[in-house]
A and B are shown apart, each in its own frame.
Chain A
Amino acid sequence: MAESELSANVVDIRRFSTHDGGGIRTTIFLKGCNLECSWCQNPESISGKVEPVFLPSRCIGCGLCLEVPGGAASRVGDRIYVDATRVGADWEALTRVCPTGAITWNARSYTVSELVELAQRDRAFFGTDGGVTLSGGEPLFRPHFAAALLRALKQAGINTAIETALNVRTEFVLTALEWTDHVFADCKLLDVAAHRRHTGSGNERILANLEVLLTGPRRADVTVRTPLIPGVTDGDDNISAIASFLASLYPDVTYELLNYNPLAAAKYDLLPGREFLFPRDANPPMLGRSRLDELKSIAQAAGLRYVL
């Protein structure tokens, strides 16, 4: 198969992204990740498959879905509930009868060439800094697709970035790097046990990949990010340990603290079987300005020069 015909499941494509790299970008959220962070802000992208989803806020209660065989839809009081996990449901038929789009799929498949065409549309807005960011999910979860897409974008003259957790084989990182202008790499927790507890996986491979990146020739093109999850990643110890580790590799690396995003909680209502770290009535707020500044100081004290 020609590389341009390789395909992958995409959960969302956001044009005019302004927080995923330089300039104005089109961010492509690929499906599939081999971590299962308890706070994941895109939980719909963890599974690599196109999954059925029911959006109750869009349901007008027309009841057309009740007539589709398979028993996924049922009336609960005056509302309708459609069970996306129901075995044997004909979800395709359900999406066809639903007039509002409340019954739908959470992703669709795109080829490399389709995505390049889409990215090209906003070329006029990219300038020299803007371009395309591959996010997810874990974009390198599909390493050959990611590499093919990044290469096709670069060959079209488009600036590329990836947002990765780096929990993949080093060779995949290095192949992608050839066609990537900027890497945003997550470093969530330095303690391996805590990492395993909260993400379902150890961090040995992540730290090894960070070392490769931050001691390699492209280290200036890497930003390391830590999502600040209250009570999990936002402790002084964790930030200090991460910063010391990074400083030992490359003290000039750009290190970005990403504030907690409480809005992610709402997505879990739509994903039966996935549970958010915090119960809805105990969802903490974003970190305040002064705490952010404190954490920055800690990272700086550990030897990092460029902390955002």
Chain B
Amino acid sequence: MTLQKSSEEFFTEFSENSAPRPLFRVANIEKRYGQRIGCTGVNFDLYPGEVMGIVGESGSGKSTLLNCLAGHLEPDQGEVLFDTRDAGLVDTVTMAEPERRMLSRTDWAFVHQHARDGLRMSVSAGGNVGERLMAVGARHYGQIRDEAIDWLGRVEINETRIDDRPSAFSGGMQQRLQIARNLVTGPRLVFMDEPTGGLDVSVQARLLDLLRGLVRQMGLSAIIVTHDLAVVRLLADRLMVMKDGHVVETGLTDQVLDDPQHAYTQLLVSSVLQV
């Protein structure tokens, strides 16, 4: 061992010995569209089992941020570190595309607002759930099918629908199917973009209930973007409030919602209370 240790090594050693290592670390992310700021100066750590909510109005930069984090957009600067199984914390922005794609079909999952963006509409429900399993090498039809049936059950879809195409499903069912398709490989980090958006209120409630159950049972780590404070109240441990591309307030969910400090957060919370 050399005498000179990089600060990073110290840090790693230190954190391994005395504190849990973050699963996901976001450092100084910025994304611009020409002169316009998408999001800027975003920093946070996410620890295993934690659910982070990102709230703000449309245009606040929360979806841009989520897409930068999930590797769908390349940020102009900053790091998005993920605690990989092989090499510990690795910057996924500079990671080679094959590795990043591998991550996004194994340890990561992404639930789109519109189920049809996250499903293969011409493939049966079973095939949709099975795809990720097959992508990582599952080659036993019976086992894939059993797993699909199990997951359909967990998201409250009757197993008799396994060979139906999602186009024959209601909006709520499509969204639940998308969730099953994403969670089937036991991802370590789930990104969700307005998972309840576009659904009827009663359908939303059922979906939220289901998500809460899954998050608790599986100890999921997740980052949820939404404009709906009810969603984060139910699901998120911590909150980040965004406005005009900047993070204006962060904290524990209850703390932020019950005692908002920033004027904008106060406005957000009060507008919810009026509803």
Do the two chains belong together in a single complex? no
What is B's interface to A at a CB cutoff of 8 Å?
none
What is A's interface to B at a CB cutoff of 8 Å?
none
